[in-house]
Every structure is written in structure tokens, then in C-alpha cells.
Amino acid sequence: GQQVMQIPQYQHVQEGEDFTTYCNSSTTLSNIQWYKQRPGGHPVFLIQLVKSGEVKKQKRLTFQFGEAKKNSSLHITATQTTDVGTYFCAGSIRVTSGTYKYIFGTGTRLKVLA
């Protein structure tokens, strides 16, 4: 079946270091979304990438969508303690005309050491 793999599973960084998480899909995606989940909380939408090769930035966060629309990455520059949480990618796969479902990656849990 369709799968979205995400690596690494865990990452511990010193505050101020950079962080990157990667997603790879077994099938071509219509789009990809990224979410952040704080400990004990629910996933919160960060961004959606739609176009092949698309790059978007949100302050210290940079998101990329691969040319083949099968992989994506999230890069955080100069991490802060507020970046702690689990980051998920979610790939959109077309089910029928006009209906899509999302396959989530397994997530990368980020810990930032002050």
C-alpha cells in the first residue's frame, strides 16, 4: 500500500543548531502538508506545498517539495526551545475525482537542549 516514510525518528539538538526532517513517499503526491504536534497536544497545520520543486519559508522554517513530488523536507535554522515537538508530513493521494486522503509520515520528534 501507499507509504510515507519519515526520517529521522528522533533528533536531539543543542539550541541554536539546525534541524532537518525528510519525508519520502512510495507514490507521487498531489500535495504535501506539514504539521507540528506539541507534547500532549494535537497536530497543528504548518504549511502545504503543491508544485513540483516548490520552496516555502516561514521565518526560520524552510519547506521543500521534490521535483518528482515524492519527497519533501523541513529545515529549521537556529532551533529554539519553542521548536520542541513532533513534526509530521502528510502526503495527499487522490482517491477518486475530487476526493483525497492523507497518508501521514511517522513523525520526527525534536528535542532542543538549552
The single residue among 66, 88, 91, 110 that binds another protein, judged by CB under 8 A, is 88
Asked if residues 71 and 25 have their Cβ atoms less than 8 Å apart, the reply is yes
Nearer to another protein by C-beta: 6 or 79?
A: 6
Asked if residues 108 and 9 have their Cβ atoms less than 8 Å apart, the reply is yes
Q: Does 44 bind another protein (CB under 8 A)?
A: yes
Nearer to another protein by C-beta: 90 or 110?
A: 90
Q: Does 10 bind another protein (CB under 8 A)?
A: no
User: Do the strands 4-7 and 19-25 form a parallel or antiparallel pair, or are they unpaired?
Assistant: antiparallel
Query: Taking Cα atoms as reference points, which of 38, 29, 10, 22 lies closest to residue 105?
Result: 22
Nearer to another protein by C-beta: 2 or 81?
A: 2
